[in-house]
Amino acid sequence: MGDASTSKELQRLVSELRSGLGGNLVSIILYGSSATGDEPYGASDHNVLVILKQAEFDELIKLRTAIRAWRDAGQPPPVLFTLDELMRAADVFPIEFLQMQRAHQVLDGSDALSAIDVSLANLRHQTEYELRTKFIQLRRLFIAQSAAPVKLTAVMLDSFSSFAALFRAVLMLHGADPPLSNADAVRRTSDLLKLDATPFDWILRRKSGETNKAADSEVNSMFASYLKQIERVIESTDRMSSE
């Protein structure tokens, strides 16, 4: 893919934010896969972080005006922080901030993300919380959809990306540099924690287009193993709190 920062939409957004916000603007940062050129084929969404000195209501009005064309182009609204909020929020958004730090490109102003210090204790706490929350929801969805294997398969496919993002956080907790791709992140976590990668590979094959109809027993077996492997990741993350 080409350099996302050269897109006309993004250049216009930066120009209009700079013009509309003036001296209140600290920085504009592109983050995620579009900042590294690793976005999937056909992806067009650009994730943008806007950092201001102040975010009073009048400044929000200016921001809304500046991003009108950006929104009309189908792009997601920027994430907005004041510089003070950014520095104070590292304890509650460690996963998000670490992922931004790993894959970002400064489009205007200073690299405010580089000044954020994320503690491993906060990262471990959020990672376990998010894993447990999504795991509980996964079991609830099983109860609701277990009589329909097609829907149960969809539950696994839909949840995979969320767990893959959290597996990247698990890798960071273990001092590893997590890959950006979901498939690689899950496979590396499986290797690290000695998980059974069978359900993850099964999901990946279907996400990549495999369409052969699976028997009900196969779907249930894959879901059971999927639950078990995620539970093992949670247990591993929980044990880190006492190490």
Model pLDDT, residue 1: 40
Is the pLDDT at 4 greater than 70, yes or no? Answer: no
Higher-pLDDT residue of 2 and 144 is: 144
Task: Looking at the structure, tell me whether residues 82 and 125 fall in a common domain.
Answer: no
Same domain flag for 107 and 129: no
**pLDDT at position 41:** 42
Encoded amino acid at 216, one letter: D
Pairing of β 25-31 and β 47-52: antiparallel
> Domain check: are 170 and 188 in the same one?
yes
CA dihedral sign of residues 204, 208, 210, 216: positive
Given 95, 115, 135, the domain boundary residue is 115
Query: What is the residue-averaged pLDDT of the chain?
Result: 91
Does 124 share its domain with 238?
yes
Domain housing 56: 4-115
**pLDDT, position 122:** 95
If one counts the domains in the chain, the total is 2
**Ordered strands of the 79-82 beta sheet:** 79-82, 47-52, 25-31, 104-109
Among the residue ranges 145-149, 162-166, 171-175, the one predicted with the least confidence is: 145-149
For residue 64, give both structure tokens.
């809304």
| Co-location of 129 and 106 in the same domain | no
Q: In degrees, to the nearest 5, what angle opens at C-alpha 67 toward C-alphas 63 and 73?
A: 170
CA 132/CA 21 separation, integer angstroms: 40
- Last residue of one domain, picked from the residues 60, 83, 115: 115
What's the pLDDT at 42?
43
- The answer to whether residue 100 scores a pLDDT higher than 70 is yes
For range 93-105, the mean pLDDT? 92
CATH of residue 29's domain is: 3.30.460.10
E-strand stretches of the chain: 25-31, 47-52, 79-82, 104-109
Specify the pLDDT at position 34.
80
Whether residue 5 has pLDDT greater than 80 = no
Residue 102 and residue 34 share a domain: yes
Residue 38 has pLDDT above 80, yes or no: no
- Per-residue pLDDT at 8 exceeds 90: no
Write b or e for each residue in 148-178: b if 16 or more Cβ atoms lie within 10 A of its Cβ, otherwise e.
ebeebbebbeebbebbbbbbbbbbbbeeeeb
Token pair 């993002």 is found at 165
